[in-house]
Amino acid sequence: MPDDPKNLFLQYYGDYLDAKEKNHPLVTWLKAVHCRAQLQKIGDTPDKEEQICQDIFRAFVTKEKAEEIYRELYDDSKSYPGSKPPR
């Protein structure tokens, strides 16, 4: 189903990885934001997004790697390109 939040998450995640590999900061940020939005739809609330993400990836990688994937996705979604970190 093309509108299924999990399928959209996986599509956005693939786009996110492509943008990251090609060093496109704006697209990387945008796809990270899209991924998080889809995770929130899957879990029905923002507080479940980390667990949902880890559950999806634990079928393929270790628990530690699944945690790392979420942390990286989260960090990239919070770092708008060109903005300076707060002091």
Quote the pLDDT of residue 38: 94
- pLDDT at residue 1, as a whole number: 53
pLDDT on residue 39: 95
SS3 for the chain is: CCCCHHHHHHHHHHHHHHHHHCCCHHHHHHHHHHHHHHHHHHHCCHHHHHHHHHHHHCCCCCHHHHHHHHHHHHHHHHCCCCCCCCC
Q: What is the pLDDT of residue 85?
A: 52
The answer to whether the beta carbons of residues 30 and 36 sit under 8 Å apart is no
pTM recorded for the entire structure = 0.86
User: What are the structural domain ranges in the chain?
Assistant: 5-78
Positions of the chain with pLDDT under 70? 1-2, 83-87
Report pLDDT for 70: 97
